[in-house]
Amino acid sequence: MTIEILQTHPLLASCEAALAARYTVHKLHEQADKAGWLAANGARIRAHAGSGVQADLMDQLPNLEIIASFGVGYDNIDTAAARARNIRVTNTPDVLNDAVAELTIGLMISLARRIPQSDQFVRQGKWPGANFGLFSELTGKTVGILGLGRIGKEIAARAQAMKMRVVYFGRHHQPSVPYIYYDNLEDMARDSDWLVVIAPGGKGTEKIVSRQVLEALGPEGRIVNVARGTLIDEPAMVELLVNGGLGGAALDVFEKEPQVPAELLTLDNVVLSPHQGSATHQTRDAMGALLVANLEKHFAGEPLISAVV
């Protein structure tokens, strides 16, 4: 008998093909009567592939052994409930570090040099009648990184290549890194030209970038968020961007995706991206392969590659 696993959302085509070659895959999102299907079949499911798994779903899968998440963040999985039920949880770290770091620097350059706006300036035929203007560059600026984890370190290395000064704030001082540590986020924001947000989501970091932090960053400061929208006090950020209290924002994530505050759509000091941090063929294929590899390790009785719980 093959192992039966559950999907609750679509996954990358290459990942779905790899899963189908190894397991019997049930796609709950394609079922008209999801509750009825779970009641009839939930006891056969031994693994979940994807994310967004809460305690109520775990209760309907009494023989669930593992949740293999597609993504590095796992704040949308109730890990406490999984631990209580002895359900293992894995994620897909490391393989997306470069893609997210590249996009971060791309967003920073796009905001500093107004690349999206300059593209429209040319496309709209305005160039013959006027110059686009002068803006800023990254060279010589200080970037404060909120969350110097795997991806944060990749961003830091690329920022140094752009001749930026790197400082960081996190839960712990990391003596082995060559950057100045701040134990107070507001102080770091005050001393930085750029604030890059790349810490994990969840209740522990919700609105950690408060109005006070944004005001400390100030009218010449710029914020970049490639983590989770919930880390920033979004209404305060929008207000400060509108009234000039904050210099600019480059945002790949939002508090209530895919909804974006309407005010942001009208601002020239903002660059917007539809949660594209890891969205390359190379990275997404690697994420899918790691998800499948974690499942294979689990069912072979071997150590997991990237265990969360």
Q: Hey, is 15 helix, strand or coil?
A: helix
Among residues 228, 255, 284, 298, the one annotated as catalytic is: 228
CB 169 within 8 A of CB 145: yes
CA distance 7 to 10: 7
**What are the residues facing 48 on neighbouring strands?**
6, 67
**Catalytic site includes residue 48:** no
DSSP 205: G
**Catalytic site includes residue 275:** yes
Least Cα distance to 60 among 3, 1, 2, 6 occurs for 6
**Catalytic site includes residue 9:** no
CA distance 112 to 154: 20
Q: What does the buried/exposed string (b/e) look like for 2-25 if buried means 16 or more CB atoms within 10 Å of the residue's CB?
A: ebbbbbbeebbebbbebbeeebeb
What is the CA 233 to chain-centroid distance, rounded? Answer: 16
CB 106 within 8 A of CB 82: no
Edge-to-edge order in the sheet of strand 88-90: 24-27, 4-7, 47-49, 66-68, 88-90
Active site residues: 228, 257, 275
